[in-house]
Amino acid sequence: MEPERTELSGATRGPSTFPVFLPVSYQVLDADYLLLKESGQDLMRNSSMRSHVQPLVILQADQAPVINATYGPLWVQQDVPPALVPAAQLPSVSWRVQAFVLSRRIFSSAPRLRVLFYLSGRGWGNTGNTGNSGDGTADDLPCVTLYAFWQTQEVRGSCALSGALGVCVAELEPPGAWFSPVPESTSRERQGPRPEGNAVELYYRRIGSARLSQAPAGGSSLSQLKLGDAIIIKTSSKPLKKTDIASFYVFLASSSSLDKFTLR
């Protein structure tokens, strides 16, 4: 679970002039990537001729990626630190779900909060890592749910990661009451300038995945045998021949105190 914060404001955006900014172009080598821009991003953020900020996400990377920045005839490049190319969450996969908030500032005139979810890691789509051929099919990619909390209220949205890059955008609409000003606190701990807008906490969680399949036509069902209150045995109800191979599923109740038993 990963928290983020965004602000809701009942004001509307006023006209602004475009500042001078440093025309730098970026490229990531040896990796699939996306250059991002926040919805409603402050134009003054890159108004300096000495610095420039460019958010990006690194998706599939079979080796250590390199970032290249170009300004006219000048260029510089640097290896991306390993800490910024997240390792897998589980040893059986080589990717993890990441999030990028596209809307840090939400206005009541356009109440849409969007978060980009994407897969990152080293070659998450390669054969042998996820059990597929790297095409990012729906069987291999998870769904994610976005949660927004304000005071005691909750709103949620979801999306399904898809495509060769494994990306999706979850969108939710905060209720109108979330944009209303909150009465100022009289506590001394909260004295000082009050930030504009209401802060909303964002969370998401990926639990896992399961595959549901229909039983083949004409297939046999399972018969169940219960041994006491702790053990259940299931096997095919189809009559077996001497040459058939049978599978038996043994289940132990979670409330049982047994640590060993013998089946005969």
Residues 6+ positions from 119 with CB-CB distance below 8 Å: 59, 60, 95, 96, 97, 98, 141, 161, 165, 166, 167
pTM, 2 dp: 0.47
Do the Cβ atoms of 95 and 166 come closer than 8 Å? yes
Residue among 39, 121, 134 nearest 84 (CA): 121
Residue 162 pLDDT exceeds 80:
yes
pLDDT of residue 132: 42
Residue showing tokens 């440093």:
22
Question: From the centroid of its chain, how far is CA 203?
Answer: 10
Q: What percent of the chain clears pLDDT 90, i.e. is strictly above it?
A: 0
**Phi-psi category of residue 186: left, alpha or beta, with phi > 0 → left and psi -120 to 50 → alpha:** alpha
Candidate from 56-65, 115-124, 205-214 with smallest mean pLDDT: 205-214
Candidate from 1-5, 99-103, 157-161 with smallest mean pLDDT: 1-5
Mean predicted confidence (pLDDT) in 224-242:
81
Cα(36)–Cα(21) distance, rounded to whole angstroms?
Answer: 17
Q: What is the mean pLDDT of the chain?
A: 72
Residue showing tokens 């009559």:
239
Do the Cβ atoms of 126 and 134 come closer than 8 Å? yes
Residue among 1, 204, 46 nearest 116 (CA): 204
Distances (CA, A) of 31 to 27, 124, 217: 10, 11, 45
pLDDT of residue 224: 81
Residue 101 pLDDT exceeds 80:
yes
Distances (CA, A) of 11 to 107, 109, 111, 242: 6, 8, 12, 78
Mean predicted confidence (pLDDT) in 146-168:
86
Residue 2 pLDDT exceeds 60:
no
Output 67 or 119, whichever has higher pLDDT.
Answer: 67
pLDDT of residue 38: 64
| Interval 109-145: pLDDT, tens | 778 888 889 887 655 555 444 434 344 444 567 888 8
Ordered by start, the domain boundaries in the chain are 4-14+22-182+191-205, 219-264
pLDDT of residue 97: 84
Do the Cβ atoms of 7 and 37 come closer than 8 Å? no
